[in-house]
């Protein structure tokens, strides 16, 4: 309790301890500006390079932990809604290349020499351990990651998996938005953020073919199981 209290005094949005989900892949769950919260994912490749997905501000001891597990090669702001702590994290790891939406890069010309690629570009690391897939047909410039060794798919706002809500209003909101107790795309995605339904559904099939063992979402609980079937079923149910 004392440690959590100390965190909340020095970090705007408190967060929990790093948890190693599978070997060389950690998650850090944190609070956010809304009850949906957020999640940072850290991946260490076999060459000891570290990639940070959805960076958040950390205490000094957790920055030291990041430095201790490997060489921070990349920092990924996965879409246009989750860029708030990118520059903060980049300031602490100036050697790291940045992956971010084009819109963010254009608004921050001072980071031009650090941007390795933007979220609209496909990319695979040299050892083929980490793949980046730009999401077509949406308006928030997202890229999703696939860690090949653990067969883990990492998404930001493409899918959510919120736990069962306690309050009446939360239950109603989750049900209305197709985001409660089910790893799936939301109705908000369909009705507000989809720009090309056909392209998005083709992409859903593409990532379903990866057949991930788990889906790490930014908002909600991690899905463990037949990820390919879950992606196909949930997108067909919402967009069918």
- pLDDT score recorded for residue 119: 98
- What would the two tokens of residue 16 be? 């929990």
Per-residue pLDDT, 240? 81
Give me the average pLDDT of each 10-residue run along the chain (240 residues).
41 95 98 92 98 97 97 98 97 98 98 98 96 98 98 98 81 82 93 97 98 97 97 94
Sorted by where each begins, the domain ranges of the chain are 2-239
Can you give the pLDDT at residue 1?
32
**What CATH number does the domain located at 2-239 have?**
3.60.15.10
């Amino acid at each position: 309790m004392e440690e959590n209290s100390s965190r909340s005094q020095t970090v705007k949005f408190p967060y929990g301890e790093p948890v190693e989900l599978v070997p060389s892949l950690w998650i850090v769950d944190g609070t956010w500006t809304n009850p949906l919260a957020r999640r940072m994912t850290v991946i260490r490749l076999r060459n000891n390079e570290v990639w940070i997905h959805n960076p958040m501000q950390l205490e000094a001891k957790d920055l030291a932990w990041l430095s201790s597990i490997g060489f921070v090669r990349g920092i990924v702001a996965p879409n246009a809604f989750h860029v708030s702590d990118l520059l903060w994290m980049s300031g602490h790891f100036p050697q790291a290349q940045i992956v971010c939406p084009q819109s963010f890069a254009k608004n921050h010309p001072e980071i031009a020499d650090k941007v390795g690629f933007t979220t609209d570009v496909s990319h695979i690391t040299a050892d083929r351990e980490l793949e980046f897939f730009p999401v077509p047909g949406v308006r928030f410039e997202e890229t999703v990651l696939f860690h090949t060794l653990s067969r883990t798919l990492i998404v930001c706002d493409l899918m959510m998996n919120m736990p069962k809500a306690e309050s009446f209003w939360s239950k109603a909101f989750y049900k209305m938005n197709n985001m409660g107790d089910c790893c799936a795309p939301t109705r908000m995605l369909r009705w507000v953020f989809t720009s090309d339904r056909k392209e998005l559904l083709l992409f859903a099939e593409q990532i379903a073919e990866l057949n991930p063992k788990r889906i790490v979402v930014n908002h909600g609980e991690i899905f463990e199981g037949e990820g390919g079937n879950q992606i196909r079923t949930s997108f067909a149910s919402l967009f069918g």
